[in-house]
Chain A
């Protein structure tokens, strides 16, 4: 019998792995609504804001960051064993994000930065991986950083349930509704062609092409995107390179054969 079915507020812990802490900060960046959002849950552990230690029992684990050490893997396994729901927040946790750019040749990179051996304090390093490749994840809040209201929305779904399905379409459709024109008409690379929708195309709306922080859409047709790039005077190799920013460890981008 867990807390939620006993009609008690869900016990929530927030866990930070390898990340910039920006998504945890984004949770606090809804100042006006912060107490309303946190008031619905029994917040048991959040190292960023409180000295209270990690408890033995909880219902919801919110995880930010990529797993880059064996200790992180243990933390995740322990959290999975205890939590009824695991929410991965931010690109690092969902797709491996920017930390996963270092995944290819990770050990050599560590040696290049630290010399022969990384300090003991680094822990037992392993190639960066998204949370979902280590443990089962129930909910995802995408993007780098997360939109705090997206987190609030996901938390509602965890606490109260929802029939809403997660969008799988690409960003282009959302962007077109903003009527700002297309970067490809200006010979400029944009990853909106293949990136998962859901953010409202904030970056293109502000004059900046999409960098793909929501991760590759399951509906993406990368081969077709390369053809679009070529037709628009953008080197398709640049599209492939740019896709590494947030999708280095996405198995669907691995070379075929």
Chain B
């Protein structure tokens, strides 16, 4: 009897703490688990009873890498609950803030976390000697994301200026124009990144699960639509119905709840790949060309292609941010970003954004005094874990069938986990 047990404790180069347990016997995958062992911080309980305007500040601390997304999501939940309308200028700034976290996240994930696997390294640091030009440009891309978050949010992690109804501070038109120029200057490297990841070979697998992304007609939305789409099943729902559409369920080996679509019972992936599948036509021209050249077109069901989808998004995000910065400099958006006035009242709302790693939902219920009664947070990684496990099983079965060595299976499984870009601190929160 041939038995292979692959155990990876605290898998490296991901955000948070997770273990992989894989047992294969006579070509059969018996156990396949992604153990999420991240400490529970209990954010949903922590914010109950606290003033509503503290919640974005507290929820930001769920995750350092997508702190902007948690803040914007909470602001949208509060504004839905209190019926606060924001100006186009504020909406544009929020988009920039979310895109800033896309640049930070995708650059970190692609080059610091993922690329070392394909280049035969244990970390990104050997690249500094081996290919200093690539190393410098990769860190330059990440630094540009930090710079964008700092320009709009006041610092690279946990934004300061984004509050209910608007922003407390803005940079000058000249600074917006300088940022736009930097975005343009980085675009060639983003296209190179698409080519680089296109050159990395990945096993051909197809997820059986669905894909979930925010949608809006003719656009590639990230923080200004309430519509979510299950791309494969082909139906949309409003974010206010998220609990009716998505079932969260506990399993013993994960500190995060897992998730599946209620209507189909299917696990699903939410990520850059889901967004590209949902809104490919609305990518910037340069991003679409780069994607097409790399053969990334919907429907793309190989989860390992999420790396490539993130690289395509880098191109798209740079194009969009340059345009947004120039329009902000020209004062082309209606209204000011100064926080809008509003009345505190009882209410409930759901905030929905596309975080770098996928769909993020926050529900908040607020009492008359503006205190939080109830909070529910559904993060991209919590939604992804069930699908990741299913894909891991698929991948392991394929590789076992091909007679691959234990070491090879182990590496490919790690690559798959990283391709999902899990944020386990987010998933447990």
Contacts and interface: CB of A to CB of B under 8 A. Distances in A.
Nearest to B142: A31
Interface in B357-392: none
A106 B46 CA distance: 10
Contacts, number: 176
A6 interface: no
A118 B123 contact: no
Contact of B35 (A21, A28, A121): A121
B45 A51 contact: no
Interface stretch (A122-130, A150-158, A161-169, A219-227): A122-130
Contacts of B163: 208
Interface in B21-51: 35-42, 44-46, 50-51
B242 interface: no
A98 B143 contact: no
Interface string A199-230: 00011001110010000000000000000000
A5 interface: no
B234 interface: no
A170 interface: no
Contacts of A121: 35-37, 252-255
B39 A38 contact: no
A3 interface: no
A22 interface: yes
Interface string A228-246: 0000000000100110010
Nearest to A64: B64
B356 to A, nearest CB: 13
Interface string B60-80: 111111010000000000000
Interface in A90-105: 97-99, 101-102
B168 interface: yes
B124 interface: yes
A50 B51 contact: no
B284 interface: no
A145 B45 contact: no
B51 A98 contact: no
B139 interface: yes
Interface stretch (A79-87, A107-115, A132-140, A249-257): A107-115
Contacts of B143: 29, 31-32
B57 A211 contact: yes
The residue among A26, A65, A202, A208 with the most chain B CB atoms within 10 A of its own CB is A208
Contacts of A46: 123
B161 A21 contact: no
Contacts of A120: 252-253
B122 A51 contact: yes
B41 A68 contact: yes
B67 A20 contact: yes
B160 A145 contact: no
Interface residues on A, range: 35 or more
B225 interface: no
A31 B137 CA distance: 10
A159 interface: no
A34 to B, nearest CB: 7
A122 B50 contact: no
A10 interface: no
A129 B333 CA distance: 46
A109 B41 CA distance: 10
Given A52-B123, A68-B39, A123-B37, A208 B160 contact: yes
B92 interface: no
B160 A122 contact: no
Contacts of A110: 40, 42
A172 to B, nearest CB: 18
Interface stretch (B151-159, B177-185, B205-213, B324-332): B151-159
Interface in B143-199: 143, 146, 154-158, 160-161, 163, 168-169
B347 to A, nearest CB: 21
A236 B155 CA distance: 29
A51 B123 contact: yes
A49 interface: yes
Given A122-B255, A208-B154, A101 B169 contact: no
Contacts of A88: none
Contacts of B51: 238, 241
Given A20-B61, A113-B44, A145 B155 contact: yes
B128 A113 contact: no
A206 B169 contact: yes
Given A49-B112, A206-B154, A206-B161, A19 B251 contact: no
B276 to A, nearest CB: 25
Contact of A99 (B41, B65, B122, B146): B41
A34 B157 contact: no
Given A203-B160, A207-B161, A101 B58 contact: yes
A75 to B, nearest CB: 11
Interface stretch (B7-15, B215-223, B295-303): B7-15
A184 B57 CA distance: 20
A24 B51 CA distance: 29
B64 A21 contact: yes
Given A65-B39, A121-B253, 10 more contacts: A31-B140, A47-B12, A98-B58, A101-B46, A106-B42, A109-B46, A115-B250, A145-B157, A203-B160, A206-B160
7 contacts: A21-B425, A50-B13, A50-B122, A110-B42, A122-B40, A123-B39, A202-B155
Interface of A: 16-26, 28-29, 31-32, 34-35, 38, 46-52, 65, 68-69, 72, 97-99, 101-102, 106, 109-110, 112-115, 118-123, 125, 128, 144-145, 202-203, 206-208, 211, 238, 241-242, 245
Interface of B: 10, 12-13, 15-17, 35-42, 44-46, 50-51, 54, 57-58, 60-65, 67, 108, 112, 116, 122-125, 128, 139-140, 142-143, 146, 154-158, 160-161, 163, 168-169, 250-255, 425, 428
The 5 closest A-B pairs by CB, nearest first: A22-B64, A207-B168, A50-B123, A18-B39, A109-B45
